[in-house]
C-alpha cells in the first residue's frame, strides 16, 4: 500500500456563534479546498474549540430549527448539551458521548447547554458534522442513535501509547457502534506524547483530521497543531499520526457520494426543486411540532 499524504493544513478562522451557545470555527466547507463536494459525504464541520461559558440561569443554545437530507453528528469533548427533536428523540450529550441524528425526510431540532452545566458554567468543546445521505435515502424516516462513552468501541494501542475510539467504521477488526448509510469512518484518537497510530483507508475516500488537543506529526513530515484541520490527498491508503505531546485527534474518512449537491441553509438535497419542496413542507408543518 502507498502513503496517503497531507494536501493542506488549515488554521482556525474567525469564530462565529451558532445561536448564543456554540462558538465555532467552520472547517467544512470553510477550509481551503475542503468544500462540500471535496469532502462529501462530510458536508459541514463546525468545531467548537474549548471556550468558557460563565454561569447562566437561562441555558444558551439554538432554538427550534429544521433539517432535511442528511445526518448531524455531535461529538462532545467538554461540557454537556441537552437536545430534543420532533420525532421524540432527545437527551443529554455529556463528555465522551456522541449524538448521531438522521434528519432524512425532515425533522425539527433544538439544542441548549444542559441545565446544571449552564448554572455552574464551564468549558464547552464539541464537534458537529453534517453527513450527507445518498438520494435514495434522503427521504427515509428520521432516526436517532444515542452513543454514550461507555458504548464506544476502544482499541488500545501497543505500549500503552494511546487508544482509538471507534465511533463509526472499522479499525483493526473492531467495529464502531454507529450505523451509517454509506461507508464512513469516524474515530477519536488519543495519544500520549511520542505515541503513534497508523490508519488505512481507500485512496478514493475523502479523509481529514482535526487536532482537538496537543500537536501531531503526520507521516513524520506534516506538523498539525491544536485546532488545525488537515486534509489528505487521494494519493494513497495509509498514514501515521505521532504525538509531539499528549494529543486528541478526530479522524474522518468516507466514501464519496457522487451525486449533485443542492444546499440551502438547513436543507441538503440533490436539486433546487427538492430544496423548494423542503421549504414548502417545512412551512406547511410537515416536519412535525417541537415546542420552543
Q: What is the pLDDT of residues 106-115, one digit of tens each?
A: 999 999 999 9
The lowest-confidence range among 15-24, 82-91, 166-175, 243-252 is 82-91
Q: How would you classify residue 179: left for phi > 0, otherwise alpha for psi between -120 and 50, otherwise beta?
A: beta
Q: What's the CATH code of the domain at 187?
A: 2.60.120.10
**Cβ distance 232 to 239 under 8 Å?**
yes
Phi, psi of 64 (to 5 degrees): -60, 130
Do 237 and 277 touch, CB atoms closer than 8 A?
no
Domain count, the chain: 1
- Answer yes or no: is 277 within a domain: no
**Looking at the domain assignment, is residue 67 inside a domain?**
yes
- Print the domain residue range for 36: 6-254
For residue 83, is it within any domain?
A: yes
Q: Does the residue 52 lie in any domain? A: yes
Per-residue pLDDT reduced to its tens digit, 202-237? 999 999 999 999 999 999 999 999 999 999 999 999
In the prediction, which pLDDT does 34 show? 60
pLDDT digits (tens, 9 = 90+) for 41-56: 999 999 999 999 999 9
Distance of CA 46 to the CA centre of its chain: 7
Given this model, what pLDDT does residue 165 score? Answer: 98
**Residue 285 is assigned to a structural domain of this protein:** no
Instruction: Note whether 93 and 80 are within 8 A (CB).
Output: yes
Q: 216 in a domain, yes or no?
A: yes
Does some domain include residue 290? Answer: no
pLDDT of residue 4: 97
Amino acid at each position: 500500500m502507498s502513503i496517503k499524504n497531507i494536501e493542506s493544513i488549515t488554521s482556525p478562522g474567525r469564530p462565529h456563534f451558532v445561536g448564543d451557545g456554540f462558538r465555532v470555527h467552520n472547517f467544512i466547507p470553510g477550509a481551503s479546498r475542503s468544500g462540500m463536494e471535496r469532502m462529501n459525504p462530510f458536508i459541514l464541520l463546525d468545531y467548537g474549540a474549548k471556550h468558557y461559558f460563565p454561569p447562566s440561569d437561562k441555558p444558551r443554545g439554538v432554538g427550534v430549527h429544521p433539517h432535511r437530507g442528511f445526518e448531524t453528528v455531535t461529538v462532545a469533548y467538554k461540557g454537556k448539551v441537552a437536545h430534543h427533536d420532533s420525532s421524540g428523540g432527545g437527551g443529554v450529550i455529556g463528555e465522551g458521548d456522541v449524538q448521531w441524528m438522521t434528519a432524512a425526510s425532515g425533522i425539527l431540532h433544538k439544542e441548549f447547554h444542559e441545565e446544571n452545566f449552564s448554572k455552574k458554567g464551564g468549558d464547552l468543546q464539541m464537534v458537529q458534522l453534517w453527513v450527507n445521505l445518498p438520494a435514495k435515502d434522503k427521504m427515509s424516516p428520521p432516526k436517532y442513535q444515542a452513543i454514550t462513552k461507555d458504548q464506544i468501541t476502544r482499541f488500545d494501542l501497543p505500549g500503552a501509547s494511546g487508544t482509538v475510539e471507534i465511533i463509526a467504521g472499522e479499525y483493526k477488526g473492531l467495529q464502531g457502534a454507529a450505523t451509517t448509510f454509506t461507508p464512513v469512518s469516524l474515530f477519536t484518537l488519543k495519544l500520549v506524547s511520542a505515541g503513534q497510530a497508523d490508519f488505512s483507508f481507500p485512496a478514493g475516500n475523502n479523509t481529514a483530521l482535526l487536532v482537538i488537543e496537543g500537536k501531531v506529526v503526520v507521516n513524520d513530515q506534516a506538523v498539525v497543531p491544536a485546532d488545525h484541520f488537515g486534509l489528505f490527498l487521494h494519493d494513497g491508503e495509509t498514514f501515521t499520526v505521532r504525538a509531539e505531546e499528549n494529543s486528541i485527534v478526530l479522524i474522518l474518512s468516507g466514501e464519496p457520494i457522487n451525486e449533485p449537491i443542492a444546499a440551502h441553509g438547513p436543507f441538503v438535497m440533490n436539486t433546487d426543486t427538492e430544496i423548494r419542496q423542503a421549504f414548502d413542507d417545512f412551512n406547511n408543518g410537515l416536519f412535525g411540532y417541537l415546542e420552543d
